[in-house]
Structure 1
Amino acid sequence: MLNISPIPAFNDNYIWLISNGDHAAVVDPGDATPVERTLAERGLTLDAILITHHHRDHTGGVKALLARWPEARLYAPAAEPMPAPGGSALQEGDRVQLAELGLELAVMAVPGHTLGHIAYHGQGLLFCGDTLFSGGCGRLFEGSPQQMHQSLSRLAALPDETRVYCTHEYTQANLAFCHAVEPNNPELKKYLQKVAKLRQQGIPTLPSSIGLEKAVNVFLRPHLAGVRAAARHHAMAELNEDAEVFAALRRWKDDF
């Protein structure tokens, strides 16, 4: 039976551990040490490593893990540097077969945070790296607002029940920004309360879901009149296109 759990790393990263029986894969292992500890504690064999983008806090543990598990397969974006030799370079439309786990994932190109960023989607699961966060989205280190808006729109078009496994515990801070944009959103108010309780108990707020994010995440809601009005007011500019609203929201969040 498929099991997915977060392995905390650094200050706020989650390395996602996917397991079935005694087989396992990890997504974005920035640090090998907590992964090795968890594999040992659970008696798991590492079969695969999935990378969404090239940032060090997502790739830093790859070489050490492959040294310990040389048979493990590495998957990473084709448009970014491979974190270790011999990996499979992936692009839009490719599929990753994890037969040991009974899992097949499709690759989606989601540029914005980085130019070659990819996400893995399938069987009701989405591993989206730093593209979509609960209540937020990644900073635009390499891509344009238009690229990120298009990438988020593609993710928002996935089924509402899709579980969202992003890689940072940013939810509470992100929701504070969403509340500044949409102070009267009732779904957002409920989610804020739920997240506050979870964090008080040290419990992860993830995974989220596409349906929830569409209801509370302003970066998926630039087409709505209230979000657009708030962005216009803050930017003191006329914003006519959804991508322009998104860009204004992203700039606002950068300084929030």
Structure 2
Amino acid sequence: MTTHQPPTTPPASAVRVAVVTGGSRGIGRAVSLQLARDGFAVVVNYARDAAAAEKTVAEIAAAGGSAISVQADVADEHAVAALFDRAEEEFGGVDVVVNCAGRLALSPIADLDLAVLDAVHRTNIRGAFVVAQQAARRLRAGGSFVGFSTSVVGTRFPAYGAYAASKAAVESLTLILARELRGRDVTVNAVAPGPTATDLFLEGKTPEQIDQLAKTPPLERLGTPEDIAGVVAFLAGPAGRWVNGQVLRANGGMV
């Protein structure tokens, strides 16, 4: 049986390093940029869109930060292990892992193609587990793992059955992993955004549908990727060290 020894505590002078899966677009891109502004060296993971990842890396570099892009399918344990290897080789270790990678499919439960269900759960459940597994093995003391759920786990909108089910699994995983990392000085939390104005969210929706969703929260607007990135930065930073095993619903006041 393979055992995994906790990484050693980094020296005080060491740069803090963040791995952001799905870090090239949407919320993941905003998280990558925010953590870079906060002084992290950022490993921007992407699945397919190398150009978007390089654009994110270039923006970080232009602002004086440090970043690299690394391709990996989050559900492939060998690719994810190689992603973490690259982070350690390039920057010396890993202090924060943010698993933004995800897949969305909308359909009534009665009509959903089960091949689509498998694809959603491969990324959102298996992928979340694989990334969490590597984070548990690699994060240095003082580190943080931030996963992503969705506020639809609470609102239970029709057509979101497959997606909400996959993210409910992430919420269960969060507290379990926090408890398993007892004594490591590593926090584990999840963020559950509400409707957020990303390209993925806006695609295929009419202006009327978008307006209706924007009026759902009491604040009567859609969230922005930057809103969510600020929550992640809090959980990954010194102000969030006493928050552990929690799911933070960043949704403007929805259920």
Q: Quick check: TM above 0.5?
A: no
The structure, 1 or 2, with the larger RCO (C-alpha pairs under 8 Å, 6+ apart) is 2
Decide which structure has greater helix share: 2
Specify the TM-score bucket, using the shorter chain as the normaliser.
0.3 to 0.5
Decide which structure has greater strand share: 1
Could you state the TM-score of these two structures normalised by the residue count of structure 1? Answer: 0.37
